A and B are shown apart, each in its own frame.
Chain A
Amino acid sequence: MTVDELRAALRGVPDPDWLATALDRVAAEPTAIARFFPAAGRRCGRHDLPDLPGWTADEAARALLLASLRTDHAEQAGALYRTGDAAEKRAVLKALPMLPIGAAGTPLLHDAIRTNDTRLVAAALGPYARHLDPPAWRQAVLKCVFTGVPLAAVADLDSRADGELAEMLAALAAERRAAGRSMPADATELLDRLTAASQPQPREV
């Protein structure tokens, strides 16, 4: 996701002048973002953006506001997350990979993954989750399975999923079987792929 794609997708918002003004103001005066950030849902709408699958208008507008800052991206992202409602927190999480902040936003992912709000957990497992260490990332993936978050929300799923995650998924599957309950299909499929990959390959003759 790039800033240009966000801008293009937001062309049809109900109040484009508000957004343009807000972006200019934030570029000139970073602290102004605290005023514009909460209002983005009312001004830009909360509908899905047809040109940007997985993004709503308010999320895209808020991500753009963060990206418009000239400095202090990590500090502002942290403050807006801390003082944000659930929708604002989700927008900060989704904006993290676009900001020049290195790994400084990782504590926000940990906070989001601790919650039971599945929208926040899902938003924490986008591309920026590459900064999560393997134990934290595996726990988060398992939490998705546990709480019914589709694994499509998890970036780099197949490249990061390892034998340890396979063991954890297999144990959860065994618990579910014992209880007479099912696993989500996408988790069973992931487990099957991991199990198949770990089998010794038949020797070529």
Chain B
Amino acid sequence: MRIFDPHIHMTSRTTDDYERMAAAGVRAVVEPAFWLGQPRTNVGSFTDYFDSLVGWEPFRAGQFGIRHHATIALNPKEANDPRCRPVLDELPRYLEKDGVVAVGEIGYDSMTPEEDDAFAAQLALAVAHDLPAMVHTPHRDKARGVERSLAVVAESGIAPQRVVLDHLNETTVKLVRDTGCWLGFSIYPDTKMSPPRMVELLKAYGTERVLVNSAADWGRSDPLLTRATGEAMLGAGFTDDDVDRVLWRNPVEFYGQSGRLDLTDDDLAEPTFAGNSILRGGS
């Protein structure tokens, strides 16, 4: 089973995790920029973090044979702090980096006017830099947050197939499915989604435009829940090809739209995969 975790905060994880992930079949990850639990108070704190997402963390991942990419953004929570807002001016130079495959995590936390502004401004950056967008949906008042996010996405003019709305569940999946946006699901030990519930959603809605991630971070989370979901799928009668689509080809297709995914190692190349050329990006 080859696994591409399209949302995981490796900065918060240990080398033990990298070792276990590699052993479980994880060969590529995307690490979205988000908040660190402790609020940041200045721009330099963000740029050091972004630099590590395009510098040290890919090096660390590479030691375990895992390809690391990032998404860069001012997250919705910290968009509310005026000391952090100037981070928006720093984003364009990061959005030109090879390892940056989307603008994200953007979206809503508490649905404030400040979050509205940062969300719209960063969707415009995604269009300007020809990148997909990765939208975090709020944990509180989620359904209304999803609806409002979809409205902002529609207004921005970005193509829906270049947007993923993440952290969806049973109550929000339908809102997103008919818009053409991608559907992201985070599998957690006790909140968000679980492997058995994810399998039920896949049975009901199919595997198209679905991204399954562990969203593992500094909270209680588990980087191997992608694998557990793949096994639960097989246990429920899905084929190896279904699992490969959800856990590998779908994230490759979504983030491949950046033209910057670099999965060219011999051990990663799959000549049978029709979309192979997008792995090589513009080169």
* Alpha-carbon distance between A115 and B51 when the two chains are bound, in angstroms: 13
Decide yes or no: A42 and B93 within 8 Å by CB, A85-B55, A85-B98, A86-B55 being known contacts.
Answer: no
Q: Say if the beta carbon of B196 comes within 8 Å of chain A.
A: no
B54 contacts A85, CB within 8 Å? Answer: yes
Q: Report whether over half of chain A's contact residues are helix, strand or loop; otherwise say mixed.
A: helix
Our pick among A14, A83, A85 for the contact of B283 (Cβ within 8 Å) is: A14
A86 contacts B260, CB within 8 Å? Answer: no
Q: Which residue of B lies closest to A86 (CB)?
A: B55
B262 contacts A43, CB within 8 Å? Answer: no
Q: Say if the beta carbon of B96 comes within 8 Å of chain A.
A: yes
* Alpha-carbon distance between A187 and B262 when the two chains are bound, in angstroms: 34
* Alpha-carbon distance between A205 and B58 when the two chains are bound, in angstroms: 62
Q: How far is the CB of A124 from chain B (nearest CB, A)?
A: 15
B59 contacts A41, CB within 8 Å? Answer: no
Q: How far is the CB of A123 from chain B (nearest CB, A)?
A: 13
- Specify which of A14, A15, A43, A117 lies most central, judged by the most chain B CB atoms within 10 Å of its CB: A117
Q: Say if the beta carbon of A87 comes within 8 Å of chain B.
A: yes
Decide yes or no: A38 and B96 within 8 Å by CB, A45-B283, A46-B262 being known contacts.
Answer: yes
* Alpha-carbon distance between A42 and B282 when the two chains are bound, in angstroms: 5
Q: Which residue of B lies closest to A119 (CB)?
A: B59
Q: Say if the beta carbon of B65 comes within 8 Å of chain A.
A: no
Our pick among B97, B281, B282 for the contact of A38 (Cβ within 8 Å) is: B97
Our pick among B56, B260, B262 for the contact of A117 (Cβ within 8 Å) is: B56
Residues of B within 8 A of A44 (CB): 283
Q: How far is the CB of A98 from chain B (nearest CB, A)?
A: 23
**Binary per-residue interface labels of chain B (64-100) against chain A in the complex, 1 for a CB within 8 Å, 0 otherwise:** 0000000000000000000000000000010011110
B93 contacts A83, CB within 8 Å? Answer: yes
Residues of A within 8 A of B55 (CB): 85-86, 89, 117
Q: How far is the CB of B275 from chain A (nearest CB, A)?
A: 18
* Alpha-carbon distance between A83 and B50 when the two chains are bound, in angstroms: 10
**Binary per-residue interface labels of chain A (4-41) against chain B in the complex, 1 for a CB within 8 Å, 0 otherwise:** 00000000001100000000000000000011001101
Residues of B within 8 A of A42 (CB): 98, 259-260, 281-283
Our pick among A39, A45, A83, A86 for the contact of B59 (Cβ within 8 Å) is: A86
Q: How far is the CB of B283 from chain A (nearest CB, A)?
A: 4
Residues of A within 8 A of B54 (CB): 85-86
Residues of B within 8 A of A119 (CB): 59
**Binary per-residue interface labels of chain B (251-264) against chain A in the complex, 1 for a CB within 8 Å, 0 otherwise:** 00000000110100
- Specify which of B51, B259, B282 lies most central, judged by the most chain A CB atoms within 10 Å of its CB: B282
- Specify which of A14, A86, A116, A117 lies most central, judged by the most chain B CB atoms within 10 Å of its CB: A86
* Alpha-carbon distance between A35 and B282 when the two chains are bound, in angstroms: 16
B283 contacts A39, CB within 8 Å? Answer: no
Q: How far is the CB of A31 from chain B (nearest CB, A)?
A: 13
* Alpha-carbon distance between A119 and B281 when the two chains are bound, in angstroms: 23
A34 contacts B93, CB within 8 Å? Answer: yes
* Alpha-carbon distance between A116 and B58 when the two chains are bound, in angstroms: 12
Residues of A within 8 A of B51 (CB): 85
Q: Which residue of A lies closest to B90 (CB)?
A: A83
Q: How far is the CB of B109 from chain A (nearest CB, A)?
A: 28
A117 contacts B283, CB within 8 Å? Answer: no
Q: Which residue of A lies closest to B281 (CB)?
A: A42
* Alpha-carbon distance between A79 and B51 when the two chains are bound, in angstroms: 14
Q: How far is the CB of B93 from chain A (nearest CB, A)?
A: 6
Q: Which residue of B lies closest to A35 (CB)?
A: B96
- Please provide the chain B residues from 81 to 124 with a CB less than 8 Å away from any CB of chain A in the complex: 93, 96-99
A-B CB contact pairs (8 Å), 19 listed: A14-B283, A38-B96, A38-B97, A38-B98, A41-B98, A42-B259, A42-B260, A42-B281, A42-B282, A42-B283, A43-B282, A43-B283, A85-B99, A86-B55, A87-B98, A89-B55, A117-B56, A117-B59, A119-B59
